[in-house]
Amino acid sequence: EPEVTQTPSHQVTQMGQEVILRCVPISNHLYFYWYRQILGQKVEFLVSFYNNEISEKSEIFDDQFSVERPDGSNFTLKIRSTKLEDSAMYFCASSEEHHPNEQFFGPGTRLTVL
């Protein structure tokens, strides 16, 4: 069964460093999303992406964040200068055009900022 994959599963970085979190959505999906979940807290929407552009972004998704679809398969989230409060689980999700409401989530990348 096709699934969303994310790499790495765990990323440790120093405050101020740039990180790139990678996602490979399901191949025929057209909507892509990033969410984050700080440990023990609710899931928070970051950004959605459709037709090679950002569809919507939350107030969390400030200038430190960017997304890119560099090729036909990858979807990346970049954090330019990480802060301690960026430590969280980051989930990528995707959905297909004909069933856009069923989002398939990846296993997540745990980001730890020291």
Partner 1 sequence: AQKITQTQPGMFVQEKEAVTLDCTYDTSDPSYGLFWYKQPSSGEMIFLIYQGSYDQQNATEGRYSLNFQKARKSANLVISASQLGDSAMYFCAMREGRVGNDMRFGAGTRLTVKP
Query: CA–CA separation, 53 vs 105, rounded Å?
Result: 20
Tell me the closest approach of the beta carbon of residue 55 to partner 1, in angstroms.
4
Name which position in 11, 44, 66, 69 contacts partner 1 (CB under 8 A). Answer: 44
The long-range contacts involving 96-101, CB below 8 angstroms and separated by at least 24 positions, are 96/26, 96/28, 96/29, 96/30, 96/31, 97/30, 97/31, 100/31
Q: Which is nearer to partner 1, 63 or 98 (CB)?
A: 98
Tell me the closest approach of the beta carbon of residue 87 to partner 1, in angstroms.
15
Tell me the closest approach of the beta carbon of residue 101 to partner 1, in angstroms.
4
Please give the residues from 56 up to 75 whose contact with partner 1 meets the rule CB under 8 A.
56, 58
Residue 103 binds partner 1, judged by CB under 8 A? yes
DSSP string, 24-91: E--TT--EEEEEEE-TTS-EEEEEEEETTEEEEE-TT--TTEEEE--SSS-EEEEESS--GGG-EEEE
Residue 23 binds partner 1, judged by CB under 8 A? no
Residues in contact with partner 1 by CB under 8 A are: 31, 33, 35, 41-45, 48, 50, 55-56, 58, 89, 91, 93, 95, 100-108
